[in-house]
Amino acid sequence: MQRNPKWTKDELILALELFLKVNPLHTSEKHLDIIALSDLLNRLPIHSDRPDREKFRNPNGVYMKLCNFLRLDPSYTGKGLDAGSKLDEEVWNEYAANRPRLTAVADAIRNNYNSTINSNGSGLAVTDDEEFPEGKVLEKVHKLRERNASLTRKKKKSIMDITGMLACEVCGFDFAEKYGEIGIGFCECHHIIPVSEIKEGHKTKLSELAVVCANCHRMLHKTRPWLTTGRLKEILS
């Protein structure tokens, strides 16, 4: 039997949130919150290949993952389990000292993962490519938002109606000026508000979109919290 896939960032964020709520030293795999997290992890559309489905993220496996975090907890005087991964440490260093952000990201994963499931029932393809610090689920949700053709079209039209052109709001690059006819109306749309900060039922306004070139778009996403277009302009100048 092949081993089940390694834990992803999304799964570890959810596990860390539970670790900080439920001390694994005083509970077991029978704890209702651990069973609930096991159920959620089995519903996440991250891993299509689960060689050992009976053991995949089962309550005992979730409990053991919580115990892995003990070795990273400075308040714990024991040794903890040695089998933790480097990614465990990355997630701990990124989120353990920032509980509000951890809660916001975990809530966003829970509230949005259904939107990443394709019509054929398949989900996210986990690769080794660079991903959002918030994990694959929120990365996919963010990309789906930015590919909203109707909203993107309205934003671009609103700018072109006023300026007659479509240039990056950060660096001023104009695709039409550089590439001619094929560049007319081309630019990417960046959502200013991260998925983890959006309240349920929120409808995106055009003012919450920024028109940017691909390079500036990547730079806006490079840090946490995200850079504003104004701050990125300052860096360029």
Report the pLDDT value the prediction gives residue 128, as an integer from 0 to 100.
44
- Asked if the model's pLDDT at residue 129 lies above 50, the reply is no
Q: How far apart are CA 165 and CA 187, in angstroms?
A: 11
**CB under 8 Å to 212, separation ≥6 — which residues?**
168, 169, 170, 187, 188, 189, 190, 220, 229
pLDDT score at 63 = 96
% of the chain at pLDDT higher than 70: 92
Q: Could you give the angle at which helices 9-21 and 32-43 cross, rounded to 10 degrees?
A: 170
Q: For residue 106, is pLDDT > 90?
A: yes
pLDDT over 90 (residue 208) = yes
pLDDT above 50 for 163: yes
CB 117 within 8 A of CB 123: yes
Tell me the per-residue pLDDT of 10-36, one tens digit each, with 9 for 90 and over.
999 999 999 999 989 999 999 999 999
Containing 165, the helix (H) or strand (E) segment is none
Q: Is 223 exposed, middle or buried (0-12, 13-18, 19+ CB in 10 A)?
A: exposed
6 and 85 Cβ atoms separated by less than 8 Å: yes
